[in-house]
Structure 1
């Protein structure tokens, strides 16, 4: 161990290099001892000229601990998150007789209630909404760390705090690193239920990784549902570790939502490769929460000096009936994200023998048909139904196609269509990460349909992290092939500044080309340019004509925007009856804005007789597709009915 003077120099060097901020101890007041953690003293205090509370915490004064603390501060320089305790710096308490407690860490004050104790004390009063909130905060926080390439390693309910009903992560595995570096392993026994089982069975040393954190998350999600520590009545010993490695798990608590229990059982799978990643955990938990009509904040993008890249934000303006230009569907490319249930192939059994060569021709035809519809501007619901109709025409079923694809992955069309089946959940559970991998593989082989769907995934962050720069580059590549779908996506990039600078004129030029290629999305988007004066002088008459053209091709956004024109007399005379019919048609096609506007009509008695029940129906359908205003309206109406 290094001498105390050398260690002090190590700390001073870190302070002088701005790695650690130094606070004068004399500027702290109301210093109050609030507890101990592993023999280390913890104080609550105020800082001069501030009513804010801070925590002062002593630490072992040895070379291993000092080096790990410096490392922890370096991590915190790039991590600022509301659910992660902030490390502010260090102070030196004047205490010549006790050098070992001279230095104190200065951190954010978050109390001392662990998640474990919080659940014990409050479980009976927690609703599922409360549990969902804690669970969502937790998974978003760990996902945030993983995106920064940080693995926590020691997640458990005793090193997670709850302060003002919010999750607070204490550190990034600092205590574990210190124990490992010091060859201290005894305290890790208490974490056996949370440790990746691979550590118990691996012959070679097994390094904790992101999937290890996912395993711990699974146990913590169970703990939130039960209010109890895992295996609370059993000894945390080698026998328990062996049982866990062989698949022993806690039982599902009665009345736990089935999708929630499915999620945590996926997370605590013995095999790391069979566990979801944190992005998938977030997506699945968010879907569960959305179905329960609970509104959740975004705990991934957080609020403490958070870095924000403006090029990575899509400007999706929600136009409502309250505004002069209500709900002119500004999210131009979201036309593909419509969750409408359609009929699958009617034929359930193959009535004749199909040769492999015939199937290869049919698969090529399916992909060509899908991409043809995309270039016409048809929305996802229509494109998917076209595929099912084609399969029916050949008197096949989708299971036969899927089985053939599994065994035939030589051509890019085969790779792409297998990805599409995985994305849509056709004959297999929806797996967007798998779909992404297959799309990427087919895209690298220059498959245009795969490139089209891959762009949308990059733009929306659908099952993967958003990557607007890649979306822009791939849109440019697809547009150079002169496909209208690619040109339209490139126009969207310039319209919203996705992966490139906003350029209204360039967007207008590209949308005009798309419209000339008879793509209904291009017609609608060009109408938006004329309507809002983007890249061209505003012209309501021209906007109306283009919305009309798109609507005639059954484009749901064109229908909704045309309805707005008739309601407000934009480029045409006011016609309330026509407006209502068009809103209805857009809503029936699954357009979330059409649904919202229809709900508004029924709520206020606009264009139609007031009907609160129908208003609730349409607000609910719109909210299920993520329309924030619809969710607020729905909650307000339901509350007034109580």
Structure 2
């Protein structure tokens, strides 16, 4: 839609028309809850809020004066956001909302849990390795590149306008506030160090141009590159530029025009210094493009990667997973192959005076261009010196009560086990409640069954105490004994199901889930359905599982809805219906349920209930990963690994696989093991692969067990043990691996570590061929030709 009027009603009509055509999503304001102030800005206020039953937070950006200037620039911001494909390094625009019949629209944006880049560096700099800094630099450059690819100029990049969410850098506010500033003639020196110096001057030919008018420099892509250069320095130093000159003023403007730049800090890679100094060259033509910046940063990362443990075990240590169930990358050391510039710390904050030749007869400061983008997103006009004190005061004023406990328990009932700890921590953070405060409250409130349950969960997860499964079990039992607490019943059943703090008893678990379900618990119904689905404590009954998932979905249980989608997708307990499965996942995605978004991506990737669209699949996996889905993270890694909906990027794939593997996600650990086994993008490392395959054997991962059998069969990182290989192939074949089924068939056919048995050989060849194994199909055809069928 094109807008050709300055009338504010026309701009509002544009928004309403876009909303009615579903070009913009409209959120019902009354479905947001748990509002928290984030910050006040010059032009508006930002709140954090949750949507319906989804525990993740959104940022709601409001405006004080909803005048023609504001609404016009909001429309422009929306147009820019819609022009950009989902990018993990740009804050996402989700839609709009408004209170009641108000015309004052509110922007619904992605919420960043770690605030601004400025504060992130301030709070975390001492812990950042050069690997971390380069990752931030890479993400910053990628975000700007995405804008430039769409011919969008940000105009006002600075660390208060860049946010961090779960260690991912995200550009915010695509010039919205700057445009409002310019239209309102607001002027400030607050972001002078980040602004292209060319915009400060008026160029004249013989003092005046032919029209006797001053020529104003227009900001462009190279202006963004200048800002990036300054921010790259800030990432390397951990401090704002020219801190000894705060508050910034006209004197600093003239010094920058005269060539003043910041000093490189010690232990900075030489090529990193070269790229950021070239970015802040006074002449735009001498500055690199943003893609050239990305190329240089990537080269620096690759140099480090070549010298880390992936190739020689010197710089990056991958701890053996069998020992501590962890995969961790240690910080990068200063390798001899990386040029490091050593700057004497005695220089302090002394500036580098670079005298660029400027072809100006006269330089006048263009005050109109010395505008601060007032960061409406999160921390506008916040007094940073007093910020922590204010938060401490607010923390002391929070009084923990039963309502907080009830809300945490309720939220836990709708998240997966590997998400529980983060769910609790997010809630406490959003409500400014310290872990110690909530722990003390529930510990002293043991006459309340929900407090007992939550204390059990703290013991199970190791929050504010050591992990103590026995104690967790006892507390769940206490809650059930007190008043048959339905949450306690579910968690007690979980203990019996998995042998947590008590001997494993699947039958007992099934009975407890039944008890919870009969009391109307959505989690109880979902868990009971899972028992019927997988034969836990009862015989498999897919029809009962389907009906119970359906009942739990009706009362708002997201996990049940996800499982219901799987039922329709695979035909479990109901006829296959890919269209219904797709709609169920789509509904979950609209509610921002991470695993629902991931499964929606899977549908787009494979054409389940929709047309194949690998780009949409990639974007869905990106969104799911950004919301905390480990399966989404793994699928995103697969996209980068295989080039699904994006370019192949083996380094990013590897990093994502490692991160997901650290979270104990089995599929990610399997993918990581395969990467080490093949040397796919990293140095081949059979030892790491072997340890991962052994670990996955314990969790009965069929393909990992098949790989492990291969290692024993061929003596890779272990002694040759054909008997062990046979047993593992048999185990894997029974779990459904068609490769293992084929290998087991060959062992029966040839009598390897078993009596030769053609009946069993043919049986397993058939099982493998039915799943699509071409080797098995070919072997069956050969046996049939030779009349070897019995």
TM-score of the two chains, using structure 1 as the length reference: 0.44
TM-score of the two chains, using structure 2 as the length reference: 0.36
